[in-house]
């Protein structure tokens, strides 16, 4: 790679390198997180061709290994600080490195936990919904997870794009497995997603032109003093829009409802909680760790634009959710609104707001996966997809709907569920900055959320169930089988537990995930 004219000399490069890289620990853990996924990815189709039923256990084992290493990484980062691993021992900024700080470790753990639970659920659900597609399902799921994890762990901008596309590939394929309209939805997502990734890539390209490097820490050090360089500004714009599109930030969210509704429930259950959140993670990574926050996020209209667009997304998402008759579509629009909360936190940019945004990444992942798993269970057990058909199901499927109710309470934001606390931090951040519109909006949106969730809760508990259909394809007993109900309950319990232990979570993990120089007041 030639050093482009106009950028720093190599000597300066070396200085930046030294200062940026000496504080971190070298470790193999980041790679160890990826390896189970790679291995599983190779084994699942191979073994699956031999015997279809081997696909799930292989997936589960690799995911459990993945979970184990993710948690180990998390604890290692908590103990020792940032971890790094240079691929093939080529040192950055030439080589690609995996760089795991608290934020990455946190994200990876979230992904791993949700993946394991959904895989357990999927073992029953996929066999019931679409038995022939069992092997491709687990294989593409692993592809997607590999891509997402790589995005989170990598410290290199272009490497991130590679993993971005890997995850997208897996995502599109996963989404296409399903319903009759699923391939159409997947195709549209493909177009939109490619646009988003391309915009990101163009942004990376501009950054490379300016800095001559693709390593995140390196680039950050170089462009810190280049805020007036139009190339840097353009790259910022391209990245924000591209990532915003993948994140379903209003008004670029229109691909999401169809994608989530027409994909099969098990696909949505793994895609919905994680895909948009990882894109949000990348946005956080860019805006807070690569681009200097003061200069770029707060010093330009970018932060304000993101915040206002996100607030629009909160309102539009909530209102559209109220209008929906299909349960999954309602949840899809609800996702738009919830991811917009994260956008609000990012746009506001203060430490409190960022804590709220990061906490909401975790919280929403837990709640949304629980909710989508429930809609899947209901569809498989009773065939009901429209909200009006959910009448009286509270009695037939008590455990499933217990999980649903807990997740719904979390979405509305009732203490002591976890959803309350992420909104709490966002509102506190808003008050501190004097953004009263934000405060009112978040409080009002809780009410809107309550409208569409309590409508469902009222149906399931207050109405008398309709007469049972005589559909022979439906199972006889009402409640979902253990492997489907248990993940729902675990996630529902997680809503409460994470809320109650929110204090530890914030102080031990999230507050330490903030970029250097940002401190939450009082912690």
Partner 1 sequence: MTERHAILRQRWLLVLILALPLAALLLSADYKAGAEDEHGVPPTVQDAHHEAAAQSAHGDEHGARAEEHGAHGREVAPLLTPTTIPSGILPPALILVLGAILVPFVPRAVRSFLAVALPALTLWYIWTQVPDGCLVVWRFLNYDLHVLRADRLSLIFGKIFTLVGAIAGIYAWHNGERRQQVAALLYNAGAVGVTFSGDYFTLYAFWELMAISSTLLIWARRRPESARAGGRYILVHLAGGAVLLGGILLQYHHTGSFLIERFAPGSGGMAAICILIGFCLNAAVPPLGAWLPDAYPRATITGAIFCSALTTKTAVYVLLRVFPGWEVLAIVGSIMAVYGVVYAVLANDIRELLSYHIISQVGYMVAGCGIGTIMGVNGSTAHAVCHILYKALLFMGAGAVIQTTGFEKLTDLGGFWKRQKWVFFLFMVGAFSISGVPIWNGFTSKSMVVAGAGEAHMTWPFMLLSLASVGTFLSIALKLAYATWMGKDRGIQPEKAPRNMLIAMGIAAFLCTLLGLKPSLLYRDLPYAVHWNPFTIPHLVEAIQILLFTFFTFYVLIPKFVPHRTISIDTDVFYRKPARLARKVFVTAVGAFFDRTDVLGHRVADRVSGALRDPTDWIPGWPRRVPSDDPGYDEDRARMPLALPLGLTLLALAVLSVLLLLS
Applying CB under 8 A, among 48, 147, 178, 244 the residue interacting with partner 1 is 244
Contact status, residue 495 vs residue 370, Cβ threshold 8 Å: yes
Q: Judged by CB under 8 A, does residue 131 bind partner 1? A: no
> Binding to partner 1 (CB under 8 A): which residues in 46-65?
none
CB of 412 to partner 1, least distance (A): 7
Would you give the binding string for partner 1 spanning residues 214-243, x where CB under 8 A is met? ----------------x--xx-xxx-xx--
> Binding to partner 1 (CB under 8 A): which residues in 393-412?
409, 412
CB of 395 to partner 1, least distance (A): 9
> Binding to partner 1 (CB under 8 A): which residues in 492-511?
502-503, 506-507
3-state secondary structure 398-467: HHHHHHHHHHHHHHHCCCCCHHHHHHHHHHHHHHHHCCHHHHHHHHHHHHHHHHHHHHHHHHHHHCCCCC
Q: Judged by CB under 8 A, does residue 31 bind partner 1? A: no
Name the token pair of 87. Answer: 């691929």
* Residue range at the interface with partner 1 (CB under 8 A); choices 141-149, 299-307, 466-474, 487-495: 299-307
Q: Which is nearer to partner 1, 83 or 367 (CB)?
A: 367
Q: DSSP states of 468-483 as a string?
A: PP--TTS-SSSSPPHH
Q: Judged by CB under 8 A, does residue 302 bind partner 1? A: yes
> Binding to partner 1 (CB under 8 A): which residues in 454-493?
454-455, 458-459, 461-464
User: In whole angstroms, what separates CA 253 from the centre of its chain?
Assistant: 15
Q: Which is nearer to partner 1, 72 or 233 (CB)?
A: 233
Q: DSSP states of 169-216 as a string?
A: HHHHHHHHSBSTTHHHHHHHHHHHHHHHHHHHHHHHHHHHHHHS--BH
DSSP lists the bridge partners of residue 100 as: 83
* Residue range at the interface with partner 1 (CB under 8 A); choices 27-35, 247-255, 372-380, 480-488: 247-255
Give the β-pairing of 83-86 and 97-100: antiparallel
Helix (H) or strand (E) holding 233: helix 230-247
Applying CB under 8 A, among 39, 414, 486, 489 the residue interacting with partner 1 is 414
* Residue range at the interface with partner 1 (CB under 8 A); choices 36-44, 205-213, 358-366, 450-458: 450-458
* Residue range at the interface with partner 1 (CB under 8 A); choices 8-16, 69-77, 96-104, 252-260: 252-260
Q: Judged by CB under 8 A, does residue 186 bind partner 1? A: no
Backbone φ, ψ for residue 98 (5° rounding) = -100, 125
CA proximity to 502, closest of 358, 377, 370, 396: 358
CA proximity to 104, closest of 270, 364, 285: 285
């Amino acid at each position: 790679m030639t050093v482009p004219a106009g950028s720093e000399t190599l000597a300066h490069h070396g200085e930046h390198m030294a200062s940026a890289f000496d504080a971190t620990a070298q470790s193999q853990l980041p790679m160890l997180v990826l390896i189970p996924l790679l291995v599983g990815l190779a084994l699942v189709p191979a073994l699956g061709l031999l015997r279809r039923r081997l696909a799930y256990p292989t997936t589960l084992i690799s995911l459990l290994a993945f979970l184990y290493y993710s948690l180990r990484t998390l604890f290692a980062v908590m103990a020792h600080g940032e971890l790094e691993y240079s691929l093939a021992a080529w040192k950055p900024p030439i080589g690609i490195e995996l760089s795991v700080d608290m934020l990455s470790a946190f994200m990876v753990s979230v992904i791993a936990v949700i993946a394991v639970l959904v895989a357990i659920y999927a073992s029953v659900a996929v066999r019931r919904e679409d038995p022939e597609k069992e092997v491709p399902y687990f294989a593409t799921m692993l592809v997607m997870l590999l891509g997402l994890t790589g995005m989170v762990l990598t410290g290199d901008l272009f490497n991130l794009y590679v993993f971005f596309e890997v995850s997208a590939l897996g995502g599109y394929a996963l989404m296409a497995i399903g319903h009759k309209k699923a391939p159409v939805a997947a195709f549209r997502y493909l177009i939109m997603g490619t646009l988003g990734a391309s915009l990101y890539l163009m942004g990376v390209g501009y950054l490379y032109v300016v800095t001559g490097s693709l390593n995140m820490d390196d680039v950050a050090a170089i462009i810190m003093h280049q805020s007036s360089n139009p190339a840097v500004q353009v790259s910022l714009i391209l990245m924000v829009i591209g990532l915003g599109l993948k994140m379903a930030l209003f008004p670029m969210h229109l691909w999401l409802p169809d994608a989530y509704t027409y994909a099969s429930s098990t696909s949505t259950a793994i895609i919905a909680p994680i895909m948009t959140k990882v894109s949000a993670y990348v946005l956080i990574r860019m805006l807070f760790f690569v681009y200097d926050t003061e200069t770029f996020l707060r010093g330009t209209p970018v932060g304000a634009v993101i915040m206002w667009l996100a607030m629009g997304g909160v309102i539009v998402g909530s209102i559209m959710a109220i209008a929906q008759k299909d349960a999954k579509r309602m949840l899809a629009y609800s996702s738009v609104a919830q991811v917009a909360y994260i956008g609000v936190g990012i746009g506001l940019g203060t430490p409190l707001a960022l804590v709220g945004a990061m906490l909401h990444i975790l919280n929403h992942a837990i709640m949304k996966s629980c909710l989508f798993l429930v809609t899947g269970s209901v569809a498989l057990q009773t065939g009901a997809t429209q909200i009006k058909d959910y009448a009286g199901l509270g009695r037939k499927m008590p455990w499933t709907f217990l999980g649903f109710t807990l997740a719904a309470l979390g979405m509305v934001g009732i203490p002591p569920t976890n959803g309350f606390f992420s909104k709490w931090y966002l509102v506190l951040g808003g008050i501190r900055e004097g953004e009263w519109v934000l405060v009112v909006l978040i409080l009002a949106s809780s009410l809107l959320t309550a409208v569409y969730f309590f409508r469902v809760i009222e149906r399931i508990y207050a109405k008398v169930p309709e007469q049972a259909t005589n559909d022979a394809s439906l199972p006889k007993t009402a409640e979902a089988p253990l492997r489907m109900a248990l993940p729902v309950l675990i996630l529902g319990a997680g809503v409460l537990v994470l809320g109650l232990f929110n204090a530890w979570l914030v102080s031990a993990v999230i507050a330490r995930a903030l970029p250097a120089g940002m401190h939450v007041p009082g912690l």
